[in-house]
Amino acid sequence: MIDLFEKAEKHSFVDDIREQNIYPYFHALQSKQDTVVQMEGARRIMLGSNNYLGLTTNPEVIEAGVEAYRKLGSGCSGSRFLNGTLELHLELEAELSKFLRKDSVVTFSTGFQSNLGIISAIVGRGDYVIMDRENHASLYDGCKLSYGTMLRYRHNDMAELEKCLQKVPENAGCLIVTDGVFSMGGDIAKLPEICALAEKYGARVMVDDAHGLGVLGEGGRGTASFFGLEDKVDIYMGTFSKSLASLGGYMASSARVADYVRHSSRPFIFSASIPPANCAAALAALRILESHPELVDKLQDNARYMRKCLAEKGIKMRMGGGEMIPIVPIFTYEPIPTLTITKDLYDHGVFVNASLPPATAPHEALLRCSLMASHTHELIDEAVDIIAEVLGRYEL
């Protein structure tokens, strides 16, 4: 028998990049998550956060969390299924279902857990789930937790999606799952074609809108709203950790499907519920989004502005998504140059995320920049100047 821990002892890629002083992970914040942060003793322009609407520093969101902490304590000490349901959870679910124009919402403790809980409950033995190859890792893990058969199609390739649908037996259920806005490349799913194929073959559609809520659609309602397909998408999934500046996740669907998931989903039934402060903060952020849809316009304006500035500097971006998407991927191609550039940018006061395979395709490593509605054009100008200066020192 070999030692189970042998894999941990072997020399690894992580050891190599630590030795080269280009390890990009676990930098410690010393301030609030904002457009400019204090990180490890220095000022950094934050271009690596999913805080799309900039609400993590909003006084109303913060006060809602503080007040819930005082009134309801630090946690629920149990699952929603038993002692862990607060009126606040029900209030959040009701307001979110109304906002998303779906019958019902189920909230989960994290976004990752939401995808585990939804897919593992809905897709059973003998069923099929069809996935875009660039879907988020949590969707893949949800498929692993289910007893269904997973098929995959090339990213946004509708001809291959149809070939997958043709492989599903007549007597099997089928769920097509796609990100709405893809988290690495900022691409938007081809939702009109996906919904048309689902209708043609009798499949159901689930959209992971973690990066779509607050970003696209009428008043930030997401990808289905953007395409006018709210009645064609059967399940929306999303998170509170991005546009809604908190922690947790949700599923929006018909009342019957939601009720089924509440009583069947092991990740939902056997996990403690969202703490009161996080629930209250998400609800306050949702209300701000509802009353200030111009935040979405400002976010999209910032995305267009940064892309224009980068293009003027001759910087090559991945252009698969719409110009209004706040995920701006800059090609750096190979892992070591990507990590070296990321470290160089960090040392010059700009925080971006290094995106490496398998999160990207081989030879398509990226600097993943992401914007907030609260970024000013002046800050974007400063960041773009630094990015252009740093990139100019490398042959890409």
Q: What is the chain's pLDDT, residue by residue, as a tens digit (396 residues)?
A: 999 999 888 878 999 999 999 999 999 999 999 999 999 999 999 999 999 999 999 999 999 999 999 999 999 999 999 999 999 999 999 999 999 999 999 999 999 999 999 999 999 999 999 999 999 999 999 999 999 999 999 999 999 999 999 999 999 999 999 999 999 889 999 999 999 999 999 999 999 999 999 999 999 999 999 999 999 999 999 999 999 999 999 999 999 999 999 999 999 999 999 999 999 999 999 999 999 999 999 999 999 999 999 999 999 898 766 799 999 999 999 999 999 999 999 999 999 999 998 888 889 899 999 999 999 999 999 999 999 999 999 987
Give the residue numbers annotated as catalytic, written as ranges: 183, 211, 242
CA-CA distance, 250 to 279, in Å (whole number)? Answer: 12
Task: Say if CB 204 and CB 240 are below 8 A apart.
Answer: no
Q: What Rg, from alpha-carbon coordinates, does the chain have? A: 21
**Do residues 377 and 347 make contact, with C-beta atoms less than 8 angstroms apart?**
no
Dump strand ranges (E) for the chain: 36-39, 42-46, 104-108, 128-132, 149-153, 174-179, 204-208, 235-239, 249-253, 327-333, 350-351, 353-355, 365-370
Handedness of CA 74, 210, 132, 168 (dihedral sign): positive
pLDDT at 360: 84
Instruction: State the virtual CA torsion across 222, 191, 239, 267 in degrees, nearest 10.
Output: 150
pLDDT confidence of residue 361:
82
- Residue 4: Cβ within 10 Å count: 7
Helix (H), strand (E) at residue 311: helix 294-312
Residue 383 near residue 372 (C-beta atoms within 8 A): no
Instruction: State the sign of the Cα–Cα–Cα–Cα dihedral 92, 98, 99, 102.
Output: positive
What the chain holds in terms of domains, given with CATH numbers, is 6-52+293-391 (3.90.1150.10), 59-291 (3.40.640.10)
> How confident is the model at residue 395, as a pLDDT?
83
What is residue 358's predicted lDDT score, i.e. its pLDDT? Answer: 86
315-331 b/e (C-beta count within 10 Å ≥ 16 → b): bebbebbbebbbbbbbb
Place of tokens 């701000």: 288
Cis peptide before 329 (omega within 30 of 0): no
Copy the structure tokens of residue 353: 């995320």
Side by side, the strands of the sheet bearing 350-351 are 36-39, 42-46, 350-351
Strands of 133-215 (E only): list them: 149-153, 174-179, 204-208
**pTM of this prediction?**
0.95
| Of residues 357, 266, 336, 369, the one with CA closest to residue 19 | 336
